[in-house]
Chains A and B, each alone.
Chain A
């Protein structure tokens, strides 16, 4: 490791502008003549559209559904058998299927004036019964969102692996577990600036996007444009988390308008739009049964999982990514012989469910880890003992699990052991027995998961969604003064790739990271990529940068050897110089020679010069498997229901860490979001499908005082199939906290004989559980002792 290479905790290059408030987000873009947009949105969750009309006075500032008759709806089909496609209209014209669905677009000099016009558009809707409960939505007789389907199910899947063999297990524990619908709530919402560039003859769309190339695919299809006619620019992005991968009807509408109006237009999503109409995620329901022997050894898992997918299949991930993944990843890091799982992706009158950091894994980890704790209670064992008995062992690696996931490497029991040791379980058990002076109840909980990251073609071809990742490409090119420009098609918005990609190039070429620049976020300048998602960038973009850097090293050495009057086989590249038997030449000199003194080049010089674009795939593209064990101590106030996190330990294995400081940052951020899922965030709807939180007064996010500083411990088991042994870890921090915190709360409440099995675990839910326990068993519940 060098001070700047792979493994160095280099300070982030991008922080210079971010910490000075000089980031450039969509809202910072000012273009001459730019006008603002406000949308007319459906106030109803489910209704027939009778008429959307605008008076003559405002008609030329309003785009109505009829204006878009040549624009195609957004369609995201999955190739999985039985998937029913939905058509998400750009502006709704026959039916509305969610509150906030677009009905008309209004354009004016300012957003306030556009909102004034929006208030004057006449909306005539005929309300229909709303489908707001995903379990009821599956029952016969439910109102239907997409009538021609005949039901409300996007997709049903079923898997059975030798399930019957588990049925004679002595321990059988069934639980109903659910996770609330959430809003992703990045600091920056969505936003788009669009204009038509007459010189380049293309539509330019500035939009905060994790995957600009995929947005271009979808936009071209909806607008009927050639891809040459679209340029997507994704500037600085204030948090993506999945929401900023999605092609929105708003983008299409602005694009269509910008091609006709002769001036730039801008839409900035406000927080009410974000909360009520945009970024929903996470709503899962599980009916899960664990079968085990009395020593806690798992015999099998049986599960029915339902995901509330909302009204439409969103582009590009589709409406089934979440639920169908549940079936394949529910077994988690465990090895057991029998498995059955049925899943439903259900359509309801809510905004589409989108993949949020951790995607299905947060729900799955919660369901699995809560059932493991329930089994431990049933067996009168410490939960970590049950986990250890069932985890895939290091000597089994690489391991193909019951759903044929290929766990590439790792020592799961070691991670668990370190977490249990760090949290000091015996001391906590003693403290529980003693009781707290303030009357609060202490609980300790933990959870463990493994996370597939950077999964590629072989995984996604089967899903058949509009986006299948192949080779990831990178461009590496020298400037005439010896600088290095790296271009990748993914986007960095918190992943710190403006720092880590130069670290990788430095590792191979020895060029100072201060002289390496990452170019990303622009379809005009970067190679095609499916973008930033699935914890893939360190592995895929990093692998591509490494491959391109090696290729470039060969080209540098060829010219360098000529300048040193020796053979390429006799030179080596290190510390930014080409070294030969009798001397050395700097990379700067090599660059100057290629670009500015071509007369000094050898006759047969490689005409590629000092510029390379090349693709990369890991040796096996079934994904890397990072993993982590979380352990947490909570104090529960049994009178108020408040929960305080007293201690939090995370032991994680991300393989080789390109920049450990950056990884720590990813984990901190993920933990904050996981705490939100566990304790605060909840997007509720009433029975007419109205969202009940439209401001942050009603939708609670954890803040600095709610997120403790975790104690982190890193293991470093190299991934066998990737450059440097890197594993994807970007999402992991958000996966395990609800499971661990829930287990800790239930541990604290053991004396009441209750389990909270719905997230978020709010004070009211805690108090209701305690009250319920007192009603069920008045004497026992109050006299029970902590084990």
Chain B
């Protein structure tokens, strides 16, 4: 379990990265925290000619605080969120989820951009950032473009990166003061990838009610207008409004055919919903 020989570059700016990754004559892999790429290299599942380390680029580690959002560089780590080096604009959602990603050693190095680009369906960022309504900005030879997080992920281990493109930042909206969120993931043991994820956000000031079911075979299932299946959060026991059979139908329609898988995903969402209203 040792990698094949590869060349290594650590450019200092984004144009430098784009120049290197646009070289179609060589197979190139970008590395940020290396928490997924490292094992894949060691197991020779990937055998690149060149690894481009993007952690030497200052602007990929910055956080830009804007009136309605923060823009977080791709190489900001899970621990940066957990330790609040990234200001919390999500009523605690992102620091809390970051705290539950794998183990601290992974969180110290793993990055938000790397996680989204690796596009593992079981990872946390793809589910919670889809719920929050975040978007990503990618830069390439022909300029930049911005895509919602859920659209950036095309499928299992596949992100919408065209040749020569790099994810540079994640834009996270500031939630309203009365926003409520809940997140539940089911893992066999602490730190393992999830088997089912439920995430829910109700942000009345911004008119958002979103539910996300993650850790599926592919992209998370996003329900943009979640009131229909889980109510509007009013009343003395809002959790009672949860319509499990409606969620089950959504999952069936998304291609989840195994009854037990559907059950655990429905329950994960219901528990996320309960958590949103239990704090």
Binding site for B on A (CB under 8 A): 110-112, 115-116, 270-272, 639-642, 680, 695, 697, 700, 702-703, 705-706, 762-764, 767-768, 771
Contact = CB atoms under 8 A, between A and B. Distances in A.
A271 B1 contact: yes
Contacts of B267: 639-640
Interface in B223-279: 259-260, 263-264, 267-268
Contact of A272 (B1, B196, B263): B1
A111 B5 CA distance: 12
Contacts of B196: 640
B188 A272 contact: no
Given A112-B3, A112-B5, A700 B189 contact: yes
A271 B190 CA distance: 21
B157 interface: no
A695 B264 contact: no
Nearest to B259: A771
A762 B189 CA distance: 11
Interface string B121-132: 000000000000
A93 B190 CA distance: 44
Given A640-B186, A771-B259, A697 B2 contact: no
Nearest to A766: B260
B272 to A, nearest CB: 13
A700 B196 CA distance: 17
B154 interface: no
A703 B192 CA distance: 11
B145 interface: no
Given A700-B188, A705-B189, A705-B190, A767 B1 contact: no
B268 to A, nearest CB: 8
Given A697-B193, A705-B190, 16 more contacts: A112-B2, A112-B5, A115-B2, A115-B44, A116-B4, A272-B1, A639-B267, A640-B186, A640-B264, A640-B267, A641-B264, A680-B188, A695-B43, A700-B192, A705-B189, A771-B259
Contact of B189 (A680, A767, A768): A680
Interface string B171-197: 000000000000000101111110110
A248 B81 CA distance: 48
B72 to A, nearest CB: 27
Interface in B185-233: 186, 188-193, 195-196
A325 to B, nearest CB: 31
Contacts of A110: 2
Nearest to A760: B188
Contact of B188 (A271, A639, A763): A763
Given A700-B192, A705-B190, A767 B260 contact: yes
A639 B2 contact: no
A115 B42 CA distance: 11
A671 B168 CA distance: 47
Given A111-B2, A116-B4, A642-B186, A768 B260 contact: yes
B39 interface: yes
Interface in B1-20: 1-5
B190 A703 contact: yes
Contacts of A270: 1
Interface in B35-67: 39, 43-44
16 contacts: A110-B2, A112-B2, A112-B3, A115-B44, A116-B4, A271-B1, A640-B186, A642-B186, A680-B189, A697-B193, A705-B189, A762-B188, A763-B186, A767-B260, A767-B263, A767-B264
A100 to B, nearest CB: 13
Contacts of A642: 186
A69 B39 CA distance: 37
B39 A695 contact: yes
A625 B186 CA distance: 42
A609 B241 CA distance: 88
Nearest to B189: A706
B225 to A, nearest CB: 26
Contact of A702 (B189, B193, B263): B189
Contacts of B260: 764, 767-768, 771
Contacts of A272: 1, 43
A127 B31 CA distance: 39
A407 B186 CA distance: 46
A116 B2 CA distance: 9
A767 B43 CA distance: 34
B41 to A, nearest CB: 11
Nearest to B42: A270
A697 B102 CA distance: 11
Contacts of A702: 189
Contacts of A771: 259-260
A677 to B, nearest CB: 15
B184 to A, nearest CB: 10
A778 to B, nearest CB: 15
Contacts of B43: 272, 695
A271 B42 CA distance: 11
A185 to B, nearest CB: 14
Contacts of A639: 263-264, 267
A110 B260 CA distance: 47
Nearest to A272: B1
Listed residue (B43, B192, B264) with the most chain A CB atoms within 10 angstroms of its CB: B264
A762 B267 CA distance: 17
Contacts of A705: 189-190
Nearest to A694: B43
A606 B234 CA distance: 95
Contacts of A271: 1
A695 B45 CA distance: 13
Contacts of B5: 112, 116
B128 to A, nearest CB: 19
Contacts of B192: 697, 700
Nearest to B264: A640
| Across the A-B interface, the 6 shortest Cβ-Cβ residue pairs | A112-B2, A705-B190, A270-B1, A639-B267, A767-B260, A111-B2
A771 to B, nearest CB: 7
B263 A706 contact: no
Nearest to B186: A640
A703 B186 CA distance: 16
Contacts of A680: 188-189
A104 B192 CA distance: 36
A703 B189 contact: yes
Most buried by B among A110, A639, A700: A639
A641 B265 CA distance: 12
A110 to B, nearest CB: 7
A706 B192 CA distance: 12
B87 to A, nearest CB: 30
B248 to A, nearest CB: 13
Contacts of B189: 680, 700, 702-703, 705-706
A21 B259 CA distance: 49
A684 to B, nearest CB: 14
A697 B123 CA distance: 13
A103 B49 CA distance: 29
B239 to A, nearest CB: 13
A705 B263 CA distance: 26
A767 B258 CA distance: 12
A706 B190 contact: yes
B40 to A, nearest CB: 11
Nearest to A696: B192
A196 to B, nearest CB: 26
Nearest to B266: A639
A43 to B, nearest CB: 14
Contacts of B3: 112
Between B4, B44, B188, the greatest number of chain A beta carbons within 10 A of the residue's beta carbon is seen for B188
Nearest to B47: A119
A271 B189 CA distance: 20
Contact of B4 (A112, A640, A700): A112
Nearest to B190: A705
Contacts of B263: 639, 767
Contacts of B188: 680, 700, 762-763
A307 B235 CA distance: 59
Contacts of A641: 264
